[in-house]
Structure formats: C-alpha cells, structure tokens
C-alpha cells in the first residue's frame, strides 16, 4: 500500500480519502492529477490521501464494493462515499464543498486531535473498518478451509467406496478366470483316468478366451480407477494411429460376450463396409466402447436388444451410436451423467464407481470429439460420440 498522506496541523480538519488504482501505467498519472487537484481545491491541505493497489488489498475492495478503477472513496468524516470513472475530478469539484462542510461540522461538535501516528496508514482506518476487514479475511479463510475439508471428505468417501467396490467387482472376474484356468489344468495337467476324456480343442479355446476376457475386464477396471485417481486435470496419454473402427467394436463385443449371453440379449452391429479408418488411440477408444457397452448391457433387460452403429458424419468425423432398451435417463440429467463421480439416484445400489462416463468424455475430448446422450424415459438411451477420420498425408 502506498502512503501519500498529506500532513495537517492539529487544529485543522481532515477529509480522509482513499484512491483505489490498479497496475496500469496510467495509474501513476491519475495519482498525480488528483493530488494536484486536491491542493488547488483546498489551500489548507485539510485532507489525507492514501493510494491503494486493488491487487494488494482485495478485502478493502470488497468492503467498499468497488467495481471499477480508479475509484476515490471519501472515508470520513460522515457517511462514506465513492466516486469513480474517467471524470473523478469533475465529480470531486461537485462534492468537495459538501465534504468540507461535513468535516467542519464534525470538528465543531467534537474536536479530535490527531495522534502521533498521523501520516501513517493507521490514521485512515478506524476500529470499525479494521474490524470489518479482519472479519472478511477470516470469513474468506474459513470458507476456503471448509471447501478444503469438504473436498478431502469427498475424496476419502470416494476412496473407501472404490476400495469396497473394487474388492467386490474384482472377485467375480477373478473367480471366473480361476475356474477356467483350473479346468484347463485338470484337463491337461494329468493323464486321463477312469475313462475321463481330455478337453476338446473347441472347449479349450472357449476356456482360454473366457479367462482372457475376465483378465482383460479386471485390467480395464483397475486402469480406469488409476486414471481417475490422477484427477480430472491429469493429461491423458493419447497415441493415435489409423485404426479400423469395426475391428475395435468387434473385439470389444467379443470381450463382453459372456455378459450379454447371460441375459440372452441380442446385439445388432451396423457399421458400413466403406467406413474410413479412424485416427485414434485404439486402447483408449476401446475403454470408451467398453464403458458404454457395459452400461448398455447392464440396463437392458433380459432378452432385450441393443445396437452399435456408425456413420460417416462429415469428411472429418465418424459418429458412433450405442443404443439400449433400458429405463432411459431423465432429460435434466443427460448432461450431468458425464460429470466425475456423478450417479443417478436409481443407481446408488448398482455396481459401479460413477467414473465411467466422465472418463469417456475426457478420452473423446482428447481426440477432439464430442460425446452426448439422448434418451426418453422408459424407452432406452442412445449414446453418441465422434472420432476423427484418418487422412493420409
């Protein structure tokens, strides 16, 4: 805070002024012009002027409810008054006689001799203002501490919830993979006994595929958790290359075949043969497909249907749609579902972390695409996202 306080004799009145400026080069000129103008208005120099940098004293700015700089505040005597804008000097000419009368009236009613601290910052601030500023500072610090506390509590709750759900959700694919491996071990690890036949090549392939699928599901689950734990600001590692979207879709569907077969669901795939290659990180886009398909399978009832389709939307974009026949999503929530840790109230008892769709949005945005949902309650949901087309150099 700069101190440009004009000295005055003990028997003189003092109009206390604060000039709020910012760091613009023109601010110094405003200060000089105002000081010169004040001395022309009052040859007795019956005023005290202090210059305040708004960036250094934000609580004073808040206290006086200032909205522009430069602003001149008549702090005392009498009622506080603020004038601001480009015509401060003209406004000062208008108000100075009134301020002078207020000061004379106050001095006549209750003469106050200045203390030894005249000429310092403290002469401008009475106990009420200092108290008010201190309260604002403490309130602001209290608010920040409260926000930090709430954030830490939310993180702790999220961590506890993740640990519990991860332990629960990992158990199922881990058990399924273990059974497949043990069956293979029994079939090939020992010679046939008591007319027990060895595993057929077809069954062996099915067991291996099943074990691989479950291990891949666990890996995806853990990867999603670790990526989310880095925070929304963490940069995704994207390594794009030319990829067949159809291949990504079919591989993802194959990995989730067991889930859809358990519910006897029908999955339709409509991807044009002439669809161009997409320029994406294959692993990241498979995470998007897996999350969206997993949700579609979860919310589509038994013997229900879902579909995956794609179209060449523009010369630069491919649009993908995953459609289910589940309960749908309320219109008011169709944006919120992509927020981190957001879950619909109906899903609180369902398995899941509330991170899948938020992670999908981050991945798609990292590919300069868009993702959104369209839904009618009780008529299913459609999730759309766009991907860039590969363009050969």
Architecture per CATH, 241-388: 2-Layer Sandwich (3.30)
pLDDT at 371: 94
What residue spans define the domains of the chain?
Answer: 15-112, 140-190+198-229, 241-388
Confidence of residue 285 (pLDDT cuts 50, 70, 90): very high
pTM comes to: 0.50
pLDDT at residue 295 greater than cutoff 80: yes
Q: Confidence class of residue 9 from pLDDT cuts 50, 70 and 90?
A: very low
pLDDT of residue 187: 74
Shared fold status for 15-112 and 241-388: no
CATH superfamily of 15-112: Glutaredoxin (3.40.30.10)
Q: What's the pLDDT at 283?
A: 86
pLDDT in tens, 116-151: 444 444 444 555 566 666 766 777 777 788 888 887
Instruction: Locate all alpha helices (DSSP H) within the chain, ordered by sequence.
Output: 26-41, 58-64, 88-109, 127-189, 201-229, 245-255, 257-262, 282-299, 356-366
Q: Name the average pLDDT for the chain.
A: 78
- The pLDDT of residue 195 is 47
Looking at the predicted structure, is the pLDDT value of residue 349 above 70? no
Q: What is the pLDDT of residue 116?
A: 44
The yes-or-no verdict on residue 197 having pLDDT over 80 is: no
Class of domain 140-190+198-229: mainly alpha
Q: Out of 158-167, 171-180, 288-297, 380-389, give the one with best mean pLDDT.
A: 380-389
């Amino acid at each position: 805070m700069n101190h440009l306080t004009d000295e005055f004799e003990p028997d003189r009145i003092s109009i206390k002024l604060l000039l709020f400026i910012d760091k613009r080069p023109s601010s110094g000129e405003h200060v000089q012009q105002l000081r010169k103008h004040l001395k022309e208005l009052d040859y007795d120099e019956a005023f005290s002027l202090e210059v305040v940098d708004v960036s250094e004293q934000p609580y004073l700015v808040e206290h006086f409810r200032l909205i522009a700089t430069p602003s001149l505040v008549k702090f005392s005597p009498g009622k506080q008054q603020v004038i601001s804008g480009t015509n401060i000097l003209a406004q000062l000419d208008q108000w100075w006689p009134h301020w002078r009368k207020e000061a004379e009236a106050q001095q006549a009613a209750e003469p106050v001799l200045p203390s030894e601290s005249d000429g310092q910052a403290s002469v401008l601030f009475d106990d009420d203002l200092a108290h008010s500023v201190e309260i604002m500072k403490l309130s602001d610090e209290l608010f920040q501490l409260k926000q930090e506390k709430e954030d830490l509590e939310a993180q702790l709750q999220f961590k506890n919830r993740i640990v519990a759900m991860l332990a629960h959700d990992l158990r199922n694919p881990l058990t399924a993979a273990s059974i497949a491996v043990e069956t293979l071990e029994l079939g090939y690890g020992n010679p046939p006994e008591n007319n027990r036949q060895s595993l057929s090549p077809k069954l062996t392939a099915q067991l291996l595929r099943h074990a691989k699928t479950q291990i891949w599901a666990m890996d995806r689950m853990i990867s999603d958790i670790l990526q989310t734990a880095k925070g929304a600001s963490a940069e995704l590692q994207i390594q794009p290359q030319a990829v067949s979207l159809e291949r990504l879709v079919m591989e993802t569907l194959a990995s989730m075949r067991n889930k859809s077969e358990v519910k006897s669901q029908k999955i339709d795939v409509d991807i044009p043969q002439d669809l161009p290659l997409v320029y994406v990180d294959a692993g990241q886009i498979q995470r998007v497909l897996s999350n969206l398909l997993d949700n579609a399978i979860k919310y589509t009832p038994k013997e229900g249907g879902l579909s995956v389709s794609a179209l060449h939307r523009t010369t630069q974009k491919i649009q993908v749609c995953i459609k289910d026949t589940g309960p749908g999503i309320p219109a008011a929530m169709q944006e919120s579902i992509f927020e981190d840790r957001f879950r619909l109230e109906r899903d609180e008892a369902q398995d899941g972390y509330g991170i899948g769709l938020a992670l999908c949005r981050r991945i798609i945005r990292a590919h300069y695409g868009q993702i959104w949902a369209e839904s009618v309650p009780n008529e299913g949901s459609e999730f759309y996202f766009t991907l860039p087309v590969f363009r050969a150099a």
